[in-house]
Amino acid sequence: MQNLTTLKDIDLENKKVLLRVDYNVVTDGKITDEFRVRASLPTIDYLIKKNCSIILISHNGRPEGKVVESMSLRPVARLLPRLLGRDVTFIDECTGDEVQQEAEFLRAGDIMLLENLRFNPGEEKNDSGFAKELASLAEVYVDDAFAAIHRAHASTVGVAKLLPHAAGLLVQKEYDTFEMLMEKPKRPYTAVIGGAKISDKLGILKEILNHVDALLIGGAMANTFLLAKGHNMRSSKVEKDKLKEALSIMRKAQTKKIKLLLPVDLVVSKSVDDKNKPKTVNTDGLQAGDIALDLGPKTMDLFNSVISESKTVFWNGTLGIAELPKFAKASSSMAHSMISSDAKTIVGGGDTAAFVDKAELESHFSFVSTGGGASLQLLAGNKLPGIEILLRK
């Protein structure tokens, strides 16, 4: 992997900086978690020390080019002063005369947050005119929005073509972490992959077998693997059209002598909101109507024994329906097993990052990624548009 252009590679002193951040954290007018906002603070602090003025830009949600008030970034503008200890001006547009005027008046240390970029249809279309309007506000562009870096949008690719540019501290750390996983992990290296669907993670499942020593599979995705091995999964969620892919992945692991572990017991119920206590059954013991909703204790003992022997562990995808406490036990067990190990521990963003953040465990891992989709695409060996443009030429 090539090196990124970093903050140390460009002249930032007294510059006006357009800083792409990932504040995709507002739902129905409320901030759902502060993790991604806090992740942007080191880069903001670095730029302030360089006497920069900063124009923060971000998307939030999927407003499809229209103004949707519940997706406004205004709640983030109220949060930032508390986190930064300084004023942040909020402009309820992302382009136009008011934005231009406010940008012109910025002085060293001033910070301005623009409204949701996706309120403008030019953002997702990577419209050159919209990119030019954004670029005209500043002298330098910095991308610190790792979770959006796999998108070829105006604010991730278009602007970078028009201004001197660099990766922010978060993007640099994310990239360096995944480069380590791809090229030089300490061994044994174990990947734990959960979540709902094989189809969402087919790329990483195929590619990661070229890098790991062990692969542990959980979540509803494991049901398809178990079905492919001949287990009757009853009413559990499965992808019957992915059975060949599941068998192919298991064969590849066997050929490469990689330890691939599937669940040996499961926590089942007749429905997610069944008032009866969930049962734990072996994988060949599901009864009519049973739905697998979490991994059982025997499985977690197996998984945890592998984690305890590992030197690097990557985890993406919760192992059960972790938003419900009664089906979050396997995910909690995995989190604590990783934390108590001697391994370098990386959590791959998305729902998994949200789970460990909600459990207030984030600081105990070596690194928690802010980008679920972006991290998976990197590990699947894909080129990401926002990364490609930041690479040193």
Tell me which residues are annotated as active site: 36, 197, 350, 373
| CA dist., res. 40 & res. 145, Å (int) | 8
Which residue type does 295 have? L
Pairing mode, if any, of strands 53-57 and 16-20?
parallel
Cis bond upstream, residue 188 (ω within 30): yes
Residue of 146, 99, 147 whose CA lies nearest to 120 = 99
Q: Backbone phi, then psi, for 54, in 5-degree steps? A: -125, 130
| CA dist., res. 361 & res. 375, Å (int) | 20
Q: ∠ CA 41-47-50 to the nearest 5 degrees?
A: 145
CA separation, residue 45 to residues 38, 174, 309, 373 (Å): 11, 18, 38, 27
Cβ(270)–Cβ(291) below 8 Å: yes
| CA dist., res. 42 & res. 39, Å (int) | 7
Enumerate residues 6+ apart whose C-beta is below 8 A from 380: 203, 204, 206, 207
Q: ∠ CA 286-356-114 to the nearest 5 degrees?
A: 125
Which residue type does 117 have? L
Pairing mode, if any, of strands 291-295 and 344-347?
unpaired
Element (H, E) at 265: strand 265-269
| CA dist., res. 149 & res. 182, Å (int) | 18
Q: Backbone phi, then psi, for 79, in 5-degree steps? A: -80, -40
Q: ∠ CA 77-79-84 to the nearest 5 degrees?
A: 95
Which residue type does 217 have? I
DSSP string, 46-110: HHHHTT-EEEEE---S--TTS--GGG-SHHHHHHHHHHHSS--EEES-SSSHHHHHHHHT--TT-
